[in-house]
Amino acid sequence: MLMQYIALSFFVSLIVTLLIVRFQNVHGKYTADHDLTGVQKFHAQVVPRVGGIGIMCAMIVLLGYLLVSGNADTWSFTLLLLASLPAFLGGIVEDCTKKVHSLLRLCLTMIAAALGFWFLGAGIFRLDIPLLNMLIAWWPISLVFTMIAVGGVANAINIIDGYNGLSGMVSVFMLAALGYIGFLVGDTLIWRISLAMIGAILGFFVWNYPRGLIFLGDGGAYFIGFILAELSVLLVARNQTVSPWFPLLVLIYPIFETIFSIYRRVVLRGSAADMPDAAHLHQLVYKRLVRWAVGSKLPKEKTARNAMTSPYLWFLCSTSVIPAMLFWQNTLILQICVGIFIILYVTLYRRLVHFNAPRWLLIKKPRQNTSDQDQE
């Protein structure tokens, strides 16, 4: 039964994404990323950026399957997908027009969070911090807090979507953790949606990693981020035995990446919080650790170097996901683990900024007539 959800969503996503890639000559004028020189661009050729369509199609087909089979979670699943539409559609329009401002996309995701609050009771009502628990017990404050948190997580997934396979596999790790705990506490809605999303993302992943034939795009990133956030909120709201710090630890990598990026841009550089730069952790890993084919202009080698970056961040994400799964009921240990992850992140970031990365982390491939000065 468990494998049915993964298998169905996987094959639907696989086929739909293949069709998008195969017929990009038809729609590429609108859906492809033609910018190869931007500050956050590290791909070597024009690529469709609407991979989120395949993932959404997989979820819609799975919803039809649940409806036909008379599953008890069908209505909640339907409401969740309906609530996700503002976030997903706002991202897709941006993918096709490049004209939807980041603030508007964030607002649309917060609207989606409000819909989830009203449709499903997906609200943050406890944080296991006495004073804050008293404040968010009042539903208006809980609603605002939930909208900010869900919108922030969705935006965070979009921020880490920088290299082939990065946000996709990280999201699979996080969904696996949420689904696992949902299974342990008997919450069928949580683990069913988690498995379906895992299958859908893996179907996209086949075409995204390592060759980068298609990108997740804003539509896919915001949709995945919204589902991750909603499952996290629902899991805690529906199951009192789950610590609210469990989903925070599971999602801490993209969350802290976002917080640290805002700090770096606003406090250290005095620029706008949404001003693009090339100083995210994954970009430093690409520049400082993945020295393979530095300076090469060959698309094949640039794509390979792109793909070599993601496993570093997969491993970093696992350092928070695994402890979260082990100590999902223990708030104190989870809080300690959050602090340890933040220290690990900042330490790694500082070492990369100061060109002090451990040699065993470097990936090198010597090339003739190439030096580190040729780097980006």
From first to last of its 376 residues, the chain has per-residue pLDDT tens of 678 899 999 999 999 999 999 999 888 888 886 555 544 444 456 899 999 999 999 999 999 999 999 899 999 999 999 999 999 999 999 999 988 998 999 999 999 999 999 999 999 999 988 888 889 989 999 999 999 999 999 999 999 998 999 999 999 999 999 999 999 999 999 999 999 999 999 999 999 998 899 999 999 999 999 999 999 999 999 999 999 999 999 999 999 999 999 999 888 888 888 787 888 999 999 988 887 666 677 778 888 888 999 999 999 999 999 999 999 999 999 999 999 999 999 999 999 998 888 787 888 765 544 444 343 3
Q: What's the pLDDT score for residue 175?
A: 98
DSSP code, position 359: G
Whether this model's pTM surpasses 0.75:
yes
Smallest CA-to-CA distance from 215 within 14, 33, 28 is with: 33
φ, ψ of residue 369 in degrees (nearest 5): 60, 30
DSSP code, position 361: G
Q: What's the pLDDT score for residue 34?
A: 54
Tokens coding 335: 């809080």
How many CB atoms sit inside 10 A of residue 99's CB? 8
Smallest CA-to-CA distance from 197 within 163, 160, 157, 168 is with: 168
By residue count, the chain amounts to: 376
DSSP-based three-state secondary structure for 33: strand
Tokens 């793909």 label which residue? 307
Tokens 């089979």 label which residue? 69
Smallest CA-to-CA distance from 120 within 128, 112, 109 is with: 112
Rounded to 10 degrees, the C-alpha dihedral 149/194/158/360 comes to 110
